Amino acid sequence: MRATAAFAREVSSAVAPRRGPARAMRLAVMVGVLLAACARQPAPAPAPSTVSVVTVTPRDTPIATEFVAQTQSSREVNIQARVSGFLDRQVYTEGAVVKEGDVLFLMDQKPFQAQLDQARAALQQQEATLENAQANLARIKPLVEQDALSPKDLDDATGQYRGAAAAVAQAQAQVTQAELNLSYATITAPVAGVTGAAQQAEGTYISSANSQLTTVSVLSPMWINFSVSENQYLKFQKRVESGVLKVPADGKLFVELVLADGTVYPNKAQITFLQPEYNTKTGTFLIRASVENAKGTLRPNQFVRVHLLGATRPGAISVPQRAVQQGPKGNFVWVVDKDSKAEMRPVTVGEWIGEDWLIDEGLSAGERVAVDGVLTLSPGAVVKVADAKTAAAPASGTAH
> Is the residue at 396 inside a domain?
no
The per-residue pLDDT for 19 is 47
CA distances from residue 188 to 73, 83, 103 in whole angstroms, order as listed: 19, 14, 4
Same domain, 272 and 385: no
CA distances from residue 240 to 74, 249, 251 in whole angstroms, order as listed: 31, 12, 11
Task: Tell me the pLDDT of the chain averaged across its residues.
Answer: 87
The per-residue pLDDT for 18 is 47
Number of domains in the chain: 5
> Is the residue at 54 inside a domain?
yes
Q: Tell me, what DSSP letter sits at residue 245?
A: S
Same domain, 199 and 273: no
Which helix (H) or strand (E) covers residue 178, if one does?
Answer: helix 151-184
At 222 the three-state DSSP class reads strand
pTM of the predicted structure, to 2 decimals: 0.71
Above 60 in pLDDT, residue 391?
Answer: no
- Region 207-233 average pLDDT: 95
Above 50 in pLDDT, residue 358?
Answer: yes
The per-residue pLDDT for 376 is 83
pLDDT in tens, 249-267: 887 889 999 999 999 999 9
pLDDT in tens, 2-25: 444 454 455 455 444 444 555 556
For helices 110-145 and 151-184, what crossing angle results, to 10°? 160
Q: Which domain holds residue 356?
A: 49-58+317-391
CA dihedral 89, 94, 97, 101 (to 10 degrees): 20
> Is the residue at 100 inside a domain?
yes
What is the per-residue DSSP string for 308-323?
A: EEEEEEEEE-EEEGGG
Closest by CA to 56, choosing from 389, 331, 325, is 389
Q: What is the CATH number of the domain that holds 196?
A: 2.40.50.100
- Region 207-217 average pLDDT: 95
Same domain, 248 and 122: no
Q: What is the CATH number of the domain that holds 322?
A: 2.40.420.20
The per-residue pLDDT for 225 is 97
The per-residue pLDDT for 49 is 79
Q: Mention every residue, 6+ apart, whose C-beta is less than 8 A from residue 65.
A: 232, 307, 308, 311, 398, 399
Same domain, 256 and 335: no
At 191 the three-state DSSP class reads coil
pLDDT level of residue 393 (50, 70, 90 thresholds): very low
In whole angstroms, what is the distance from residue 328 CA to residue 345 CA? 13
Same domain, 193 and 102: yes
> Is the residue at 400 inside a domain?
no
Same domain, 265 and 294: yes
Half-sphere CA count of 24, side-chain side, radius 13 A = 12
At 67 the three-state DSSP class reads strand
For the chain, percent of residues with pLDDT exceeding 70: 85
Same domain, 294 and 329: no
Same domain, 140 and 172: yes
In whole angstroms, what is the distance from residue 237 CA to residue 246 CA? 10
Same domain, 239 and 122: no
Question: What does DSSP say about strands 318-320 and 368-372: parallel, antiparallel, or unpaired?
Answer: unpaired
Question: What does DSSP say about strands 303-316 and 49-56: parallel, antiparallel, or unpaired?
Answer: unpaired
> Which amino acid appears at position 144 of this protein?
V
Same domain, 85 and 201: yes
